[in-house]
Amino acid sequence: MTAQQTTYREAIRQALLDAMAEDDDVILIGEEVGVYGGAYGVTKGLIDIYGADRVIDSPISEAGIVGAAVGAAMTGLKPVVELMYVDFIGLVMDQLANQAAKSRYMFGGQIEVPMVLRTQGGTGRSAAAQHSQSLEAWMMHTPGLRLCMPATVNDGYHLLRDALRQRDPVCFIEHKGLYTMKGNLDTARADADWGQPAIRRTGGDITIVTYSRMVHEALKAADAMAEQGVEATVIDLRCLNPLDMAPILASVRDTGRAMVVTEAALTGSVASEIAARIGESCFDWLEEPVLRIGGEDIPIPVSPKLEAGSIPDAGLIAETGLWMMRRDTLAWA
């Protein structure tokens, strides 16, 4: 396939199509992944192509689904589990964190667990407190789990294909607000290598580190800041485990200022971890403390206006970046 315009949803579906065509060991399992086509339509039509033996509609038991996938992966298959919402991750943490993440290490590498858990996170659909969370920090905290969160159409395809090549289990979190976003898909070329951040924009004044949907808010903010004479580098983490900090640290040492942006609640967040690493490694280069911008520490409201107000947007990011640049000129700073 040559480069073409498609949606985030279709890019992920194409990755599943291609992986299943190349490898008969790749199977799909989850609630309504077959006949219905998945909660957000990603697996639509796949059961018609590959049959019910490889696209398996499961009972409503998240722990049972992931437990079955762990066993299948241990015995030679490559299951792709769909967990309807990341909010349900608590129902599978024993199977995921105690079994899938640790088995290769506990058995000295003799047994691998090459499975992918696809799920959807984030706000934007007024789905309220139990269907709108950003819980990636739970998975990032668990040794043995790989974690990626694609922000672009091209990464939706390539990160999923790469995830299916890993020896360890991979949590693959798709932002529900990105499914209809259009972009270029080039199946021959990834945005960056597995585990490598992608530099989406370069500038010499401030470094903005982010991932998933907040990449797009950060890019809008960077354009607004440029109108005020402030040039920002925007770094898309892409993978949170593995994570190569080298490009991030190099940029911060160049700009002297860093902001880490997440949609997740700020306390104990991915942003907190990244900010700490930057502070430890770049202290002597920093002109300002590393700032974190994240979601409010509240359950997500169902009201569209309150929901939007609970997470960062381009305006807040731009305003904060401009403040960081000008703080030393303010009398009250």
Q: What are phi and psi of 229, to 5 degrees?
A: 85, 10
Architecture category of domain 198-328 in CATH: 3-Layer(aba) Sandwich (3.40)
* CA nearest to 80, candidates 89, 90, 93, 70: 70
**Tokens for 202?**
């370069």
For residue 233, what pLDDT band results from cuts at 50, 70 and 90?
very high
**Residue among 62, 174, 217, 307 flagged as catalytic:** 62
Q: Give the predicted TM-score (pTM) of the model.
A: 0.95
**Residue-wise pLDDT tens digits, 257-282:** 999 999 999 999 999 999 999 999 99
**Tokens for 224?**
């607004």
For residue 330, what pLDDT band results from cuts at 50, 70 and 90?
very low
pLDDT for 327: 66
Domain boundaries, the chain: 4-185, 198-328
**Residue-wise pLDDT tens digits, 131-174:** 999 999 999 999 999 999 999 999 999 999 999 999 999 999 99
**Residue among 131, 158, 175, 216 flagged as catalytic:** 131
pLDDT for 326: 85
**Tokens for 301?**
């409201």
The reply to whether 4-185 and 198-328 are identical in fold is yes
Rg (CA), the chain: 20
pLDDT for 3: 80
For residue 17, what pLDDT band results from cuts at 50, 70 and 90?
very high
pLDDT for 151: 98
pLDDT for 51: 97
For residue 109, what pLDDT band results from cuts at 50, 70 and 90?
very high
Active site residue 62: yes
Whole-number average pLDDT of the chain: 95
CATH class of 4-185: alpha beta
**Residue-wise pLDDT tens digits, 43-89:** 999 999 999 999 999 999 999 999 999 999 999 999 999 999 999 99
Higher pLDDT: 154 or 331? It is: 154
**Residue-wise pLDDT tens digits, 200-231:** 999 999 999 999 999 999 999 999 999 999 99
pLDDT exceeds cutoff 90 at 6: yes
The residue-averaged pLDDT of 282-297 equals: 96
pLDDT exceeds cutoff 60 at 183: yes
